[in-house]
Amino acid sequence: MEKKKVLLAFSGGLDTSFCAVYLAKKQQMEVHSAIVNSGGFPGEKLEQIEGHAKRLGIVSHQVLDITADYYDKCVRYMIFGNALRNRSYPLSVSSERTFQAIALVNHAQKHGYKYIAHGSTAAGNDQVRFDLVFQVLAPEIKVITPIRDLKISREDEIEYLQMEEVEMNWSNVKYSINEGLWGTSVGGKETLTSTGELPEEAYPTHMDKSGSETVTLGFEEGEPVSLNGQILEPLVVIRELEKLAAPWGVGRDVHVGDTIIGIKGRVGFEAAAARIIIDAHLALEKHVLSRWQLHWKEQIGQWYGMFVHEAQYLEPVMRDLEKFLESSQKTVTGEVTVRLRPYSFSVTGVDSPHDLMNASFATYGEMNKAWTAEEVDGFTRILGNQQRIWYAVNGMEE
């Protein structure tokens, strides 16, 4: 009897390794795998994962690179919107999942797969992000979720793979690491409770810097286009800034938030480039945008980030939000200087031809050049009219 062919979303980690063996041994399926690279896997890492797939008995393995598409269609809009989840998490991995799912659907439809499998659990966000895309774009494909269906722990997975004599570096499965262009998430036993602290060794980049260092980021219409005066493609700026800043231990935090399925979740992350770029971009916007542009951008940027996080990227309103965000960036051009210190950074200055903090009009707290004292007095009287009337009628509240 011919085996059913299944396309497995594969990262080479514990969960997807378990799925590969379980689907082949227990479900008697012909397992084919694809890893969707959204910027977190260098070439040598991809080669290691391919070798691991072969050792697991996977029939065929493909690399689907979507890094440029992911930046163009999502990351740059998250920069435009200064998108941070709960004021800290730059959607490092959560924003990738929809694009990984779209790539898997396209690959499955192109090659005629009737089954797609992924290694998400029943208690997280990723299951919804993958399943929603599959259901919307490919309702004809059946989704298989072994770990979710079996309700097993990471310890159970390890025990099963050891029983099947699978060779893995078991010391590396202590933490669940998801690397991507926009940052890396870190999950472990410490993040399963409200009090645990991730140790230094849990983070992929070793902190080994002291003193301080300055870096200069250049933006053109909101996109990062240079680093320390060198003109680069935005993707290269992100990667080079991450290499430069991560050893300072910056961009680390633990995100606590409400999951799509309604429970609280906790995960560590390392996202030096993302956090620096967002803070630098926001500082530049404060200098070049009007108060009402800043006000509405903040609302729309946070809505955009929330919808990305909540698996709503395919919702048509997202294209409308993107149009607003893109329009708002016409004058967001200039250079921003950032000082790096161990475990922290700060924006120190902005230089832009569109800077509205223009000394020809006034110097804040010092001198006005474009209006008179009498004009300010008249303006203030009109501004306070409604308040003066209210208090004249009602008096002061006790």
In SS3 terms, 289-328 reads as CCHHHHHHHHHHHHHHHHHHHCCCCCCCHHHHHHHHHHHC
Q: At CA 79, angle to CA 73 and CA 80, rounded to 5? A: 85
Q: Is residue 313 included in any domain, yes or no?
A: no
Domain carrying residue 210: 180-289+327-351
| pLDDT attached to residue 363 | 67
| pLDDT attached to residue 310 | 93
| pLDDT attached to residue 362 | 58
Task: Please report, for residues 216, 226, 286, 368, the alpha-carbon distance to residue 337 in angstroms, rounded to integers and kept in the order given.
Answer: 4, 12, 14, 28
Q: Is residue 192 included in any domain, yes or no?
A: yes
Q: Are residues 153 and 258 in the same domain?
A: no
Q: Are residues 15 and 161 in the same domain?
A: yes
Backbone angles phi, psi at 397, to 5 degrees: -75, 140
| pLDDT attached to residue 365 | 63
> Which of residues 172, 201, 232 is at a domain's end?
172
pTM: 0.92
> Which of residues 172, 196, 221 is at a domain's end?
172
30 CB-near residues (< 8 Å, 6+ apart):
3, 4, 5, 6, 24, 59
Q: Are residues 376 and 340 in the same domain?
A: no
Backbone angles phi, psi at 67, to 5 degrees: -55, -50
Q: Is residue 307 included in any domain, yes or no?
A: no
Task: Kindly report the CATH number assigned to the domain that includes residue 34.
Answer: 3.40.50.620
| pLDDT attached to residue 289 | 97
Q: Is residue 206 included in any domain, yes or no?
A: yes
Q: Is residue 380 included in any domain, yes or no?
A: yes
Q: Is residue 295 included in any domain, yes or no?
A: no
Task: Kindly report the CATH number assigned to the domain that includes residue 243.
Answer: 3.90.1260.10
Q: Are residues 192 and 242 in the same domain?
A: yes
Distance, CA of 370 to CA of 381 (rounded, Å): 19
Q: Are residues 191 and 248 in the same domain?
A: yes
Distance, CA of 249 to CA of 59 (rounded, Å): 40
Q: Are residues 198 and 63 in the same domain?
A: no
Task: Please report, for residues 4, 174, 220, 302, the alpha-carbon distance to residue 177 in angstroms, rounded to integers and kept in the order given.
Answer: 31, 9, 33, 26
Q: Are residues 9 and 105 in the same domain?
A: yes
Domain tally, the chain = 3
- Flag residues of the chain having pLDDT under 70: 171-172, 359, 361-366, 398
Q: Of 46, 81, 80, 44, whose CA–CA distance to 61 is shortest? A: 46
Q: Are residues 52 and 117 in the same domain?
A: yes
Token couple for 19: 């799925």
Q: Of 120, 86, 80, 101, whose CA–CA distance to 36 is shortest? A: 101
Please report the DSSP string for 55-113 in residue order.
HTT-SEEEEEE-HHHHIIIIIHHHHHTT--BTTTB--TTHHHHHHHHHHHHHHHHHHT-
Q: Is residue 90 included in any domain, yes or no?
A: yes
> Which of residues 172, 205, 235 is at a domain's end?
172
Q: Is residue 267 included in any domain, yes or no?
A: yes
Q: Are residues 56 and 123 in the same domain?
A: yes
Q: Are residues 12 and 160 in the same domain?
A: yes
Token couple for 232: 């680069």
> pLDDT of 169-212, one tens digit each?
776 678 888 889 999 999 888 998 999 999 998 998 999 999 99
Q: Are residues 337 and 383 in the same domain?
A: no
Backbone angles phi, psi at 217, to 5 degrees: -105, 130
Q: Are residues 33 and 162 in the same domain?
A: yes
| pLDDT attached to residue 167 | 85
> pLDDT of 115-142, one tens digit each?
999 999 887 889 999 999 999 999 999 9
